[in-house]
Amino acid sequence: MARPYEPPSAADRYRRKPVLKLGLQVMEALERAERSQIVHRDVKPENIMQDSAGGFWLLDFGIARHLDLSSLTASGLPYRKMTLGYAPPEQCRNFKREIDSRADLFALGVTMHECATVRMTFLTLLRAIILNSLGAWSNFLCRRSLYRLLLRKAFGT
């Protein structure tokens, strides 16, 4: 449902300023990585730290890949290195030839959106898709409370 545009309040503008700084500083780190043909492949809030001076640092290059070197896992395999909710579609499908610095930009965009809105948008969409597919199965559950308990356990809500 569409809502009329409301200009951001002073509090919202103040809260979003660090998000812009985070984006610019992580973008600089990703630019340096791209120049070296490295794709981070796991940009997410948990891999970005803020120092005491207010600067942001991109950490954990544990699943990074050098684009000029061969990969340790084959393309198209169901096993893929990623964090659900931040990885772009080509990384989710494990199409390695399509994974480049744009994958990191996608993940940074998701991260910035999450920081600005304090909502995990893509995980929320994924949850909605799963819940929708469970709709038919819910008829088999005898009690609605059991159904809610299972959903709470599965999604931590």
Active site residues: 42
Place of tokens 């492949």: 41
Dihedrals phi, psi of 85, to nearest 5 degrees: 100, -20
Q: What's the maximum distance between 2 C-alpha atoms anywhere in the chain?
A: 58
49 DSSP β-pair partners: 57
Reported in sequence order, the residue ranges of 30-142 that DSSP labels E, i.e. its strands, are 38-39, 48-50, 56-58, 65-66
